[in-house]
Amino acid sequence: MLLDASASGLFPIAPTPFTPDGKIDDGSLDTLIARYLAAGATGVTVLGIMGEAPKLEPEESLAITARFIAGFGRLPVIVGVSAPGLAAMRWLARAAMDKGAAGVMIAPPPALRTDDQITGYYRQAIEAIGSDIPFVIQDYPLTLTVQMTPKVIRQIVEENPSCVMLKHEDWPGLEKITALRAFQKEGSMRPISILTGNGGLFLDFEMERGADGAMTGYAFPEMLGDVVRLQKAGERDKAHDLFDAHLPLMRYEQQQGVGLAVRKYVMMKRGFIASDAQRKPGSALSATARAEVDYLLARLARHDPRALV
Amino acid sequence: MLLDASASGLFPIAPTPFTPDGKIDDGSLDTLIARYLAAGATGVTVLGIMGEAPKLEPEESLAITARFIAGFGRLPVIVGVSAPGLAAMRWLARAAMDKGAAGVMIAPPPALRTDDQITGYYRQAIEAIGSDIPFVIQDYPLTLTVQMTPKVIRQIVEENPSCVMLKHEDWPGLEKITALRAFQKEGSMRPISILTGNGGLFLDFEMERGADGAMTGYAFPEMLGDVVRLQKAGERDKAHDLFDAHLPLMRYEQQQGVGLAVRKYVMMKRGFIASDAQRKPGSALSATARAEVDYLLARLARHDPRALV
Amino acid sequence: MLLDASASGLFPIAPTPFTPDGKIDDGSLDTLIARYLAAGATGVTVLGIMGEAPKLEPEESLAITARFIAGFGRLPVIVGVSAPGLAAMRWLARAAMDKGAAGVMIAPPPALRTDDQITGYYRQAIEAIGSDIPFVIQDYPLTLTVQMTPKVIRQIVEENPSCVMLKHEDWPGLEKITALRAFQKEGSMRPISILTGNGGLFLDFEMERGADGAMTGYAFPEMLGDVVRLQKAGERDKAHDLFDAHLPLMRYEQQQGVGLAVRKYVMMKRGFIASDAQRKPGSALSATARAEVDYLLARLARHDPRALV
Amino acid sequence: MLLDASASGLFPIAPTPFTPDGKIDDGSLDTLIARYLAAGATGVTVLGIMGEAPKLEPEESLAITARFIAGFGRLPVIVGVSAPGLAAMRWLARAAMDKGAAGVMIAPPPALRTDDQITGYYRQAIEAIGSDIPFVIQDYPLTLTVQMTPKVIRQIVEENPSCVMLKHEDWPGLEKITALRAFQKEGSMRPISILTGNGGLFLDFEMERGADGAMTGYAFPEMLGDVVRLQKAGERDKAHDLFDAHLPLMRYEQQQGVGLAVRKYVMMKRGFIASDAQRKPGSALSATARAEVDYLLARLARHDPRALV
């Protein structure tokens, strides 16, 4: 089933579990899938920046993709296919779709600057992978250094009918969601799904601004799913109460460079994955940092028993 | 009295209050000074990035500096003197010291890349302003794009005896504090004061890693001062409790580009300044954003009555 | 007399001559002016990037400006007013115009990325300095990192009636001149003057693409003027012959970072200025580099006797 | 035979010839190899930035590599293996060496800033590919934005015994060659081969500063080889005469972004390759640009009959 603009809910950004000696850990992959489904995931995104995708060999990328597709059944699996060259992007996109992926996610290469360069890049990328593959725009200026205005996103959406979703992680970005939803309302842009990233750090208000859900990798996907559901149910205060309880840890996890180490450490403690190993080059947590995370988990557990680990 | 390496506590980064038509609001400056002193400030930093320094004419910069010096009495006033040219830096540094400033703060220009370029720049800057002026290194890669390793900071400290403080706002930066304190312990770097910025977002743990205090502009300086004091008193849990209550608002205020608008809006509501106007070019808060801040303030007031506004 | 869109010919980018101890050398300023006029300059630009503008104190900037205005008589003097803040930009622009400048030049600050940010910046800058001052867009992505498409330049021109000229130094940039002239031809952009920079490295073809002249600082302004005149007179081969003879030296002078040292060294040897000193921080030529320049001058002298120094 | 520090002469950076419909053109590959050998190439570098490497699928990359190895016989073939992830780098490096490559070339990823990040990256890369593979550092700040000081290069050389060569294309870079050769002379760095890139724009003086040869892709490799030989033979004036005759065209070819289109166009006219097609995304030459190149070729032919095409 192909991804479309009605996608919503919780799409975790999946990390890639490795054994301490750097092999892909299939058992942990299966555990991870089970835990995501139990957390209420409505889909999943693999091979993203936080999935250590550039450290994988092509066949490994495909094998991981296939395992998630098998595990998620009828739920959509989105595959990150960003690559420095369009040949590699095309190869991975076609291969992933052949395996049953629901769509692909494309980030702009860091060198892009002008509006025309950005929209031109998406035209060329879609020409390369084929216009039959639903795709997601990844808008992540903090890491990618590419800045897309709402008008540029609208132009990409309008020029490429296969664009069905925005992974929104501009920072700050609340007004951008409002602007895009206003475009839809005035009829100048067709509806798309907007799922938000940025480690979840603004998910509380992003939902109020019109986001459809979360697409990020915070180590408590259950909380992300709960906030999305509570906000959709109009339970604003409850959503913020839960969100605020997690914010100290979320903030700690959202540190550039060291964030994935924090995330994998917590996921390991929670039993999602067997080891927090990263493939080289990867950052490691100091003993002090691990103790800080343990302290944050203990404090969180007073509000959310799922943090008792 | 000159700034030295024993500085600690709370040095707010002062915004510059303007009237709605863009004039400097002297009355608000006096109120701001009074509120900072009441909040337990042990010093203050003026003409920083969040002080809209580049929008001020030279005489205005000096007038603001003089007013803070008069208001802070024997407490140290640090003056941001970063400038694209060393002539302008020297002029402002000498003029500020003549007025009674305790020291100056220097950020590296964004074009610097290699270790040698960075250390060379500080040598030239100190040669320009004179080695008799105590100075603070501003280490803020998120905004300035210049990355200084602990070794580079050590070299600047060792080569320039007038360096007495680091304004630490690397992100992530906890391990950097630990590394610098280890240099001191092993005797390879003389002691310096480390005050932390980054909107306060990691102040809870920065104090535990060895920071001497806070130098940032969050709209509740009282909280920053409280966390510094609680941590120094060994009241770890209390420090985190207070910090966590403020984190949702702090996080909202710490958005690049729009952060100053949030900060001034809250400070206006709290009576620190009469208007939240920024000089052009400045960002404004949408009605939705103001309502979000109001909501965060109301939630915060349940834990900290100072948020009742 | 104010600058307008009919400007053409040779506008040298003037260096600022210093004495070896860092003072402004007024005698050399007068010599420089005389040599520029003898070289056929139809105007001049002061306080540009290569004029070491950020190293000057405000009064020095104005004094230099006034001296050029006095020396150039009825010929237009353009003043670089780029500054990190609009207050400083406004102050210098108004002061320079009061002294008799013909217009100002504004470069975009390096942080600008999207088309809207760039056009927005020029709107704010013109609002700050006043719409009565003719201004020049400086388009120099290699140094400024800001990329303006022809459409963005057109938008700035159309939104700001006081925009009369483009200092074109995109690299590569030949197609940009062609695109802008095509806009004029089709009536979608009013005519502007296009003078080209980039050290002159493509002046030969820039003139053929539709440029009106040169605005750069190569140490042989006579050659720049000659090439402009020869191309306008339809003497294509002669223009290229002269240009090619200078290209080895021009290329050497156009090295980022060290270029100004080469330029001042040659100008000193040619008697344009008394010393090749730069204000700190400045790069110096090694003995080997000076010998290389001497060798290039000796080779050039076989084709152009003006290189006999 | 493995690459070692005695490599010198002419290593062309080979473009990848495509048919107009985007397939690899094996016939042109063979012609290209024959022409390079006839031009006096002492080796060749494939899959570089100008070889459109990111547009190739893995098997294509290997096939091209194998064809060059077969064609060059005992002469060394260097393979560009820069990749966003170390897994892909390792795979290509090992596979290329298995096919008979002499060594690999590694460029630093653009995100690297501090000296420690750069030296750390090379340690990790060599650990990934294995210390038995001779490697070349590519130092190209203009495109890669990574700045390596001579000290950083020395550290990489000293820490990694398998480092045998620097592809020098810093800009400006003459003093860097001098500094590195001084390190060797004083015994603080073991000898390495230095071949220079940057389109050849400073080859004349680079040879005088101590370079061992040229590694760049200018469409007249014969000229590069001649300049290298003439300078080694002490024929300085003759070397510069030939170089200067080519400089107008070299300069035109060295335009960022459009340079490869110029190079392939000239190589097509010279019969090195059958088509100047690039794989998408690629830039094309306008009719005006082609006419400009034709004009430059006609002018060059007056001095160098090899330009008669």
Residue D257: count of CB within 10 angstroms of its CB: 9
Residues of chain A with Cβ-Cβ distance to D60 below 8 Å are 87
Q: Which two tokens stand for residue B145?
A: 């794009």
- Taking alpha carbons only, the member of B278, B284, B285, B272 closest to residue B24 is B278
Cα separation of A155 and A199, whole Å? 27
Smallest CA–CA distance, residue C47 to chain D, in Å, is 24
Query: What integer best gives the mean pLDDT of chain B?
Result: 96
pLDDT digits (tens, 9 = 90+) for C135-173: 999 999 988 889 999 999 999 999 999 999 999 999 889
Confidence of residue A127 (pLDDT cuts 50, 70, 90): very high
Residues of chain C contacting residue B124, judged by C-beta atoms under 8 Å apart: 280-281
- Those chains having 3 or more beta-carbon pairs within 8 angstroms of chain C are A, B, D
**3-state secondary structure at position D135:** strand
Helical H segments across chain D, by residue range: 26-38, 58-72, 86-99, 115-129, 141-144, 150-159, 174-186, 203-209, 221-232, 236-253, 259-269, 287-301
Tell if the CB–CB gap between A152 and C117 is shorter than 8 Å.
no
pTM: 0.94
State the amino acid at position A281 in one-letter form. P
DSSP string, D83-130: -SSHHHHHHHHHHHHHHT--EEEEPPPTT--SHHHHHHHHHHHHHHH-
Contact C128 B280 (CB under 8 A): yes
Q: Would you call C121 and B281 a contact, using CB atoms and an 8 Å cutoff?
A: yes
Q: What percent of chain C has pLDDT over 90?
A: 88
Q: How high is the pLDDT of residue D261?
A: 97
Which range (A80-84, B136-140, C295-299) has the least confidence?
A80-84
Tokens of D139: 């130092």
Contacts of D35 (CB under 8 A, 6+ apart): D221, D270, D271, D272
Residue D36's pLDDT band (cuts 50, 70, 90): very high
Q: What percent of chain B has pLDDT over 90?
A: 89
CA of B142 vs chain C CAs: smallest distance (Å): 12
CA distance B246 to B240: 10
Residue D215 marked as a ligand binder: yes
Instruction: Please indicate whether, in this complex, the C-beta atoms of C172 and D258 are within 8 angstroms of each other.
Output: yes
D188 pLDDT more than 90: yes
Please answer yes or no on whether A148 and C114 come within 8 Å at the CB atom. yes
Stretch A265-283: mean pLDDT, rounded? 94
H/E stretch holding C117: helix C115-129
Q: Which two tokens stand for residue A300?
A: 């969180």
Q: Which residues of B18-30 are buried (b: 16+ CB within 10 A; e: fewer)?
A: beeeeebbeebbe
Query: Is the model's pLDDT at C34 over the cut of 90?
Result: yes
Q: Which amino acid appears at position B280 of this protein?
A: K
Interface contacts (B, D; CB < 8 Å) = 26
Which token pair is D146? 């990574």
Contact: D84, A54; criterion CB under 8 Å: yes
Asked whether residue A299 carries a pLDDT value surpassing 90, the answer given is yes
What pLDDT score was predicted for residue A138? Answer: 97
Burial (CB < 10 A; 0-12, 13-18, 19+), residue A271, is: exposed
Contact predicate B248/A244, CB 8 Å: yes
pLDDT computed for residue B61 by the predictor: 94
Distance CA B30, CA B139 (A): 29
Q: Roughly what angle, to the nearest 10 degrees, separates helices C236-253 and C259-269?
A: 110
Task: Return the bridge partners of C194, or none.
Answer: C166
The label of the residue with tokens 């990694």 reads D160
> How far is Cα C211 from Cα C189, in angstroms, rounded to an integer?
16
Mutation target vs A (from B142, B147, B205, B302; most A CBs, 10 A cutoff): B205
- Report which secondary-structure segment, H or E, holds A167: strand A163-168
Report the sign of the C-alpha dihedral through residues C74, C215, C255, B114, in that order.
positive
- Whether residues D87 and A128 touch (CB distance < 8 A) is answered with no
pLDDT at A169: 94
Stated as kind and residue range, the H or E segment containing A144 is helix A141-144
pLDDT at C290 over 90: yes
- Nearest CA to CA, how far is C121 from chain B (Å)? 8
Q: Which residues in D158-186 are b (16+ Cβ under 10 Å) and which e? A: eebebbbbbbbbbbbbbbbbbbbbebbee
Helix axes B58-72, B26-38, angle to 10 degrees: 40
Give me A184's structure tokens.
């839809």
Nearest to D171 among C201, C244, C255 (CB): C255
Q: With contact defined as beta carbons under 8 Å apart, do D56 and A87 qualify?
A: yes
Are C93 and C79 contacting, i.e. CB atoms less than 8 angstroms apart? yes
Residues in chain D closer than 8 A to A58 (CB atoms) = 58
Which band of pLDDT confidence, cut at 50, 70 and 90, is reported for residue B171? confident
Q: Please give the pLDDT value at position D250.
A: 98
Scanning chain B, the segments in alpha helix (DSSP H) are 26-38, 58-72, 86-99, 115-129, 141-144, 150-159, 174-186, 203-209, 221-232, 236-253, 259-269, 287-301
**CA B109, B114, B120, B122 torsion: positive or negative?**
positive
Counting one residue from A and one from B, how many pairs have CB atoms under 8 Å apart? 61
This complex has an ipTM of: 0.96
Summarised one tens digit per residue, pLDDT across range C71-115 is 999 999 999 999 888 988 999 999 999 999 999 999 999 889 999
Q: What is the pLDDT of residues A85-119, one digit of tens each?
A: 898 899 999 999 999 999 999 999 988 999 999 99
Rounded to whole angstroms, the Cα distance separating B60 from D153 reads 47
pLDDT of residue A254: 93
* Ramachandran sector of residue A136 (left: φ over 0; alpha: ψ -120 to 50; beta: rest): beta
H or E segment to which residue D235 belongs: none
User: Do A280 and D124 make contact, defined as CB atoms within 8 angstroms?
Assistant: yes
Closest in C56, C91, C127 to B87, CB measured: C56
Under DSSP, the state recorded for A24 is B
Lookup result for tokens 């005489």: B59
Q: What is the pLDDT of residue A171?
A: 87
What average pLDDT score do residues A30-58 get?
A: 94
Cα–Cα distance measured from residue B54 to residue C128, given in angstroms and rounded to the nearest whole number = 14
Q: Which residues of A are annotated as a binding site?
A: 215
For the cut 90, the answer to whether the pLDDT of residue A282 exceeds it is: no
Nearest to C85 among B55, B91, B120 (CB): B55
How distant is the Cα of D178 from the closest Cα of chain B, in angstroms? Answer: 18
